Amino acid sequence: MAIEYAPGVALSAIVAAIGYLAAPYVGRVLPIPNMVIALVVGIALNPIAARPATSPGMAFCVRTALRWAVALLGLRVGLADIAALGLGTAALIVVAMVTTLASGFIFARWYGREPGFGALVGVGTAVCGASATLACSTVVPNYPGKQPDIAFVVVAVNALATMAMLVYPLLSILLGFDAQTTGVMLGGTIHDVAQVVGAGYAVSVAVGNTAMIVKLFRVFLLLPVVLGVGWYFTHMGRKHDEARVPAPVFGIVFLALCALNSVVPLMPALLPTYAPIKSALVEASTWGLLLAIGALGLGTSIKTIVGLGWRHITTVLGTTAVIFVIVTGGLALMRLA
């Protein structure tokens, strides 16, 4: 198994190293973070990476390595940081998710697509990209073209999240958002976990921490969202499989480490032992994130994105616009209140 992963992991590691080493030199001209550099280098090398031998290792980096790197980010955050976001932020995210899910059905109907396609797009956009799309597919009734639609949504939300990773931080600056508001915007609007990490930590550690807290809140809502979609199709008299939703183990570990990070400072006797371990794990998390972003870039094909159908693309663009407008508009109104 390790041999199967080796080519893809090695190529992703090379891209990550290029991003890390090039950042200080690029920074003399433009303040571009190492994760963005790794992403761009990865996209440029996609033709090299588009080989069967590299696919397993790259998938391992984007899924397993990323999730454990995100879990270790809990060491950078305290429970007080989570509480500081407040109930207003949680309510805004829930409203944005529900509206985005509903818009998926509406856009699909406008463009003559199946309701199941609207569910896949709505859930993928509202919750957490590819993993949410696959979980939702278990409760979407079978219809002609379902499998290609699943593949399309996975590719599309990944592509749009990658674009958002580069564009949204700039928009937050233009809107004059502070660090916490920027973090909420990024975590509340970008589809996939990997791109939330890249966008947030490209701005600052504080923004990245907030973005990950908000994103994980969305991830934890995957189960009720999928069950709700299943109930909807059952209510409409459509048969479907039983829901199969992966447990967000990495999110649970993230919260556990947040709690540990909050408790240990209250026990001075533990600090001499805890500090170096925490430092090593945070560094490991940083490299894990770089590795995942490098693999994400390597797996992004511009040619594939351009070749997608316009009706499908417009549907995904519509749901992406809905969640962006609601979250960003809501944050702007909260600032004025």
Condensed to tens digits (0 to 9), the pLDDT of residues 67-118 reads 888 788 788 777 787 888 889 999 999 999 999 999 999 999 998 888 999 9
Question: Could you tell me the two tokens for 56?
Answer: 């397993």
Is the pLDDT at 55 greater than 80? The verdict is yes
Burial of 308 per CB tally in 10 Å (0-12, 13-18, 19+): middle
pLDDT, residue 238, reads 62
Per the structure block, which two tokens stand in for 117? 């396609």
Q: What is the pLDDT of residues 165-220, one digit of tens each?
A: 889 999 999 999 999 999 999 999 998 888 898 899 889 989 999 998 999 889 88
Q: Which domain holds residue 88?
A: 2-336
Instruction: Give the pLDDT band (50/70/90) at residue 139.
Output: confident
Structural domains counted in the chain? 1
- Predicted local confidence at residue 221, as pLDDT: 86
Q: Does pLDDT of 248 surpass 80?
A: no
As a whole number of angstroms, the distance between CA 159 and CA 95 comes to 24
User: In this prediction, what percent of the chain has a pLDDT beyond 90?
Assistant: 35
The reported pLDDT for the residue numbered 168 is: 96
> Contact 206/183 with Cβ under 8 angstroms?
yes
If one compares 213 and 2, the residue with the highest pLDDT of the two is 213
Phi, psi of 232 (to 5 degrees): -60, -50
CA 202 to chain centroid: 14
